[in-house]
Amino acid sequence: MTIAVVDYGAGNLRSVEKALLRAGGRDVVVTSDPQLVASADRVVLPGDGAFPDCRAALSHANGLGEALAEAVLRRGRPFLGICIGMQLLATEGEEYEPTPGLGWIPGRVVRIHPGDARLKVPHMGWNTLERHRAHRLVEGLDLGPDGLHAYFLHAYHLVPDEADDVVASASYGGPVTALVARGNVAGVQFHPEKSQRLGLAMLANFVEWRP
């Protein structure tokens, strides 16, 4: 089972690769080869930086956009976006300027506005997660106020048009989208590769996920 970690010049690739291997992935490939991405059994799209920059990098990566569509939309392979890779699933991002996303999970990427003025943006640090609904990716995970913590570093988050697309959220002066899913497409705002027990457990679920 090949897991393609997409290299489009905008992700924390090696840490994600190592975490997937620790989580039980056997054939994990960091690649910018459209053919490998299109034929992969699972696809992971990391992303660090600003939404417009990551979207431009993905658009300019020769053939990768079409390869993602082939693997995820036409072949129905399980997909996981991480951080900006999750935000790119939205219809549009509002960081710096309106920028079209992939539109796989309809919604907008908007700036976090904590209700508590003492909370700084970017949101950086460890938070527990609140489960909104059942999903294979959070199956068996210790969530809730006394549960495991996930590591976040971001100033924007995806607000889906449909509330049911939110699987889990964090609290940072108000709800922050932490995990979204629709069909074979999922995304996490936190960094599972840095989230220790929770992150490895979630990635292990992704490795076994059969939507």
Enzyme catalytic residues: 83, 191, 193
| Tokens 């997409």 found at | 6
Report how many helices (DSSP H) and strands (DSSP E) the chain contains, helices first. 6, 14
CB atoms within 10 A of CB 32: 17
Selection from 8, 1, 6 nearest residue 59 by Cα: 8
Tokens of 49: 């930086």
176 to 35, 37, 102, 190: CA distances (angstroms): 35, 30, 21, 10
How far is residue 155's CA from residue 147's CA, in Å, rounded to a whole number?
24
